[in-house]
Amino acid sequence: MYLPRALLSHLYTHLLRTTHPLSPPVLLLVALEPDALCACRILTALLKRDYIPHKIQPIAGYNDLSRAGEELVRPMRTTDGGSGGIVVCLGVGGLVDLEDFLGMEEEVGGAGGVDVWVVDSRRPWNLANVFGGGFQNVQEDGEGAPLVKNKQGIEQGRVLQSFKPGAGGIVVFDDGDIEDELAVEKEAYWALAQMPQFDEDEGADEDLSDEEESKSEQDLPMSGQAGRKRKSLPDDDDGMDSEEEFERPKQRRRSNSSSSLPSTPERPARRGLLTTSNQHTTSSDFSRNGTPESRSSPPMNTAKHPSARTLRRRLLKLRRKHESVIQEYSSLGTSYSEPISSLMYSLASDLGREDNDLLWNAIVGVSSLELYGRTLNGVGISPLSTAGGSSGWNGDRGERIRAVLRDEVRRLNPTDLKDIAREASLGDSGGVIQTHARSPTDMSIRLSPEPRFLLIRHWSLYESMLHSPYLSARLHIWNDSGRRRLHKLLAKMGVSLTQCKQSYTHMDMELKRGLRERLLKFAPVYGLDGLVPPVSSRNGDREGWGFVRCWGWKACLSAVDISVVIGAILEAGGASISTSSSDNPPNPEDEADTESVAQEQITARFWTAYDALGSVDKLTSHISTAQHLYRAILRTGTSLIEKKQIRHLRAFRMAVVKEGPDVQLFTHPGALTKLALWISEAIAEQEGIKRKGKGGELVVAGLDEARGVYVVVGLGGGGGVAISKEKEKRKAEKRKEKEKKKEARKLEKDRERQARRDRRAANGDLEESDEEDEETEEESDDSDSESEDGEVKDTIKKRGHGKNRFGHAFSEVIEETGARVKIDSFEHCVVEVKKEDLSGFLESLSMKAVVG
C-alpha cells in the first residue's frame, strides 16, 4: 500500500489518537547515513512532543534488517503473542520485499497487527510493498468464483482518507513519484493480481486436438481466487561459498536486482473458462487491466463462443504483457528521489509542528546527498555540478526543494530590514562568509553565498581549497602544475600564501570581505564558474545559496559542514579494526570476532553521529575526523593517478586501493564512494569526458585484509538527464489521443464484422464466418497489443536512461561466475568480493551494461 503525499499526516494523526500508556513503543529502523539520521531526529522530536514511546535500532544492511525482523518485529505480532505496533523504516528496505525480510509472510502468521511505514528515497520501488496488501478475497453470493476486492479504505493499493490502520501491513510514504509516474505499473500489478491462473504450457499449445481440448476444459477447476503477491524465483546457490556471510542473498531478498519477475503478484488458482450458452467469457470481456467487464452478448443465432484454447492463448498474451511491464520497471537502474529528511519535515509542517531545529535537520539531510553523489540517475557525478555554488543534486527537482527550504528559513528567521538594505547596496562585494553569531543567544538560520570550499570556517583557506573535490578536480591538484595553478589563482586575487595558510577566522578582515568579489572575478579564468553563487540571484530567490546556523558564541557551521562531519563520524569515527598479516590468512573464528568488533563499532558510530546532531560541542569535536578523511581522499586519489593505477576496461574504468597508510579507511562503503567520486571528477576533467552521457563509469575496490575481501563500489549513471514533467505531460496527452483513435478504429471494425456476419448468416455459411472473424479479431488484437506494449516499454526505458545499473550487473556476474560475493549494503552498487575472486569478477563485469 502507499500513502499519497496529500495524506502524509494521516497515519501519524491516527497514531496520536490511539496511543495510550500501555501502547508498545514505535520501533524505528534507521539506515546508517546522514539523511536517515536527520529524518530520525525529526521524527523522534515529533514523538517526544506527543509523549509517544519509541525505540531506535540502527540498521547497517540487509543482514541487520533480517535480524531485526526476527528479533524485534516478529515478537510484536499478535500471532506470536505480541500486541501489534508500528515499525518505521527510514532509508531502509524500499528496494526489497519487506514482508519477507521482516517475517510477515502469510504462511508464517502474516502481519499480525504490525504496521510498517516505509520512508525511502531509493528507487525503483519494490512493487510488492507499494501495491500489495491492499486486496482481499471475497465470495460473490456464496456461489461464484472468489474475486479480488480492495480492502476497506484502500483503492488499488492507494490509502484513502477512510483507511484505519491497525490491521497490519506495509505502507509506503509517497513523495509524489508513485501517483505521478507509476500508473502503468499499478495497472499491470493489479491486472496480474486479478487474473485467473492456468498452466502456461496449456495456453501455449497451439495444436490441441478437439478431444484433448475438450478434456483440458473439463480439467480446468472453477477458481478465481487471487492469491498473495508472488515471490521471486528461488535462488541458485551453485558455486557459492559455504561460509554463511558470503552466501549470496536469496533472490527474494534482492528482487529488484534479479532477472526474475520481482514484485509481481502471485496469480490466483486456475479459474474455469466457461463455454456454456448462458455463461461465457471472451478475451474482449477482459478490460485492459485484466478484469472481467460486463457487455451485452451477441445474438445467439449469429455468434459462436470462442474456444477454450483461444481464450487461454489470449489470456496468456495479456498476462505476459503485464509481466513485461513489471519486469521493465524492476530492471531500471537505481536512482534517488526526494530526501527522506525533507519528507519528514513536510510531515511536521502538515502537523503544524515546524520549528528551526526540525528545519535545520531537514536542511542538513538534503545537503548530505550532494556529498555522496546521489542524483536522479543513481550514484555518480552530477552533470549540473557547475551550477551556481551547488552540486546540482537532482536537477530542477532538487532546486525546488532547496527553494522551499529557503522560503522556510526566511519565514522562521526574518531578516532585519536594515540588513537587507545593506546587503543590497554592497552587491557582489557583499556576502561575507558568516563565521560568528550576532549575539550570545543567536540560534538563527541564515542564507549564505557559500563557496564550494571544504570546512572553510575550520581550516585555512589554502587547505580548504586544496581538499575541495570540486576545485581540486578542475585545477588538477594531484600534480605540480595543478598546485601552481592554485597559487596563481590566489596571487591574482591578492592573497598571499602566508595569509591563506593561517586559520580562516584569523585572516585579515579586508581580505575576507573582498574574497567573494575576487572569486567571482578570477575563478572563471580557471574554469571554476560554479565556485561561488552570485550575490544577486534571479528573482531575489538567491538560487545556489547555502545555509548557515549559529549556536551563540560556541560555533557557526554551514549545513554542508555538518553533513561532512556526520558522514565522517559514520565512516571513520572510532578506532580502526586491526588488520591481520597477509602471511597468515584469517580463519573463520578470527573472521567472526572481526565481524563482531565491526558491528560494535558501527553501532557506536551511529549513536555518536546521532548525538552530534543534537549537540554542537560533540559536533565540533569531530571536525578533525572529517579533516583526516578528506586528507586521505586527496592523498590516495593523487597516488592512484600519479602511479597510473586507474585502468580502462571495456565498460568502465577501474582502480584498486590495496596499499598505503589509508587502505583500512576505505573499507567503509561511504568513504570508498567519496574517493570514487573524487577520482571520477578528476578523470572527467583530465580526459574531457562530457557528462551528458556515458563515459564516467568507474569501479573502485578497497582491500580489507582483516577479512580477506574487497569492498567494491560501482559509480555511474549521474550523467543522464531526467525527463521533465512537461515532457511527460505532453507524452501522456499523445497517449490519450492514440487511445481514442484506437477505440474509434475498433468500433468501426466491429460494425464491419457484424455486417459481414449478417450477410453470411443470410447465405447459410455462419460457422465459416465465425472462424474467420475470430482469427481476424485475434490478429487485430495482437497488432494493437504489440503496438501498445512497445509504447509502454519505451516510456519505461526512457525513465531508466543513464541510470546506475551496477546492482543488476553484479547479480548477473554472480550467477554466471559463482564468485563469492556478499550483497548486504542498501546501496546495490556496493558489494564485497572475496580477495581471490576479484580479478574474475571484474573481468566478467566489464562485459556487462553498467549504465541504462
pLDDT in tens, 372-399: 888 777 777 765 444 444 445 566 788 8
pLDDT in tens, 80-89: 888 999 999 9
618: pLDDT confidence band, cut at 50, 70 and 90? very high
pLDDT at 783 over 60: no
pLDDT at 687 over 60: yes
pLDDT in tens, 113-157: 999 999 999 989 999 999 987 666 655 444 444 566 677 888 888
pLDDT in tens, 577-593: 433 334 445 555 565 66
DSSP class of residue 292 equals B
Report how far residue 80's alpha carbon sits from residue 108's, in angstroms, rounded to the nearest whole number. Answer: 10
- Report the mean per-residue pLDDT for the chain: 78
CB 169 within 8 A of CB 115: yes
pLDDT of residue 790: 57
Write the CA distances from 824 to 319, 336, 371, 597, 735, integer angstroms: 33, 19, 22, 17, 41
Cell of 59: 540498521
pLDDT of residue 576: 43
Closest Cα to residue 35, out of 346, 395, 400, 366?
A: 366
Report how far residue 342's alpha carbon sits from residue 364's, in angstroms, rounded to the nearest whole number. Answer: 10
Cis bond before residue 75 (omega within 30° of 0) = no
CA 838 from centre of chain: 27
What residues does each domain of the chain span? Answer: 2-322, 586-621, 622-720+803-845, 725-790
415: pLDDT confidence band, cut at 50, 70 and 90? confident
Kindly state the average pLDDT of the residues 504-522.
Answer: 87
Closest Cα to residue 346, out of 404, 409, 406?
A: 404
pLDDT at 616 over 90: yes
Predicted TM-score of the model (pTM): 0.81
Write the CA distances from 397 to 186, 358, 789, integer angstroms: 24, 21, 29
pLDDT of residue 548: 94
Window from 157-161, 188-192, 774-778 with minimum mean pLDDT: 774-778
CB 689 within 8 A of CB 821: no
Cell of 799: 525513465
pLDDT in tens, 733-769: 777 777 777 788 778 877 877 787 777 777 766 554 5
Write the CA distances from 506 to 91, 438, 468, 530, integer angstroms: 40, 18, 20, 26
Task: Burial-class residue 185 by CB neighbours within 10 Å (0-12, 13-18, 19+).
Answer: buried
pLDDT at 357 over 70: yes
Report how far residue 843's alpha carbon sits from residue 160's, in angstroms, rounded to the nearest whole number. Answer: 50
Beta carbons within 8 Å of 324's beta carbon, 6+ residues apart? 789, 793
pLDDT at 234 over 50: no
Task: Burial-class residue 177 by CB neighbours within 10 Å (0-12, 13-18, 19+).
Answer: middle
781: pLDDT confidence band, cut at 50, 70 and 90? low
- Top-confidence residue, 288 or 526: 526
- Top-confidence residue, 265 or 491: 491
> Is the Cα dihedral 294, 297, 298, 304 positive or negative?
positive
DSSP class of residue 524 equals G
Ramachandran angles phi, psi of 86, nearest 5°:
-125, 135
CB 111 within 8 A of CB 117: no
Write the CA distances from 139 to 136, 149, 230, 352, integer angstroms: 10, 10, 22, 44
Closest Cα to residue 652, out of 609, 714, 595, 566?
A: 714
Rg (CA), the chain: 30
Report how far residue 315's alpha carbon sits from residue 284's, in angstroms, rounded to the nearest whole number. Answer: 10
Each residue of 63-77: b (16+ CB within 10 Å) or e? bbbbebbeeebbebb
- Top-confidence residue, 696 or 400: 400
Looking at domain 622-720+803-845, does it have CATH number 3.10.310? yes
Cell of 372: 555522496
Residue 815 sits at the vertex; the CA angle it makes with 810 and 819, to the nearest 5 degrees, is 75
Cell of 252: 527474494
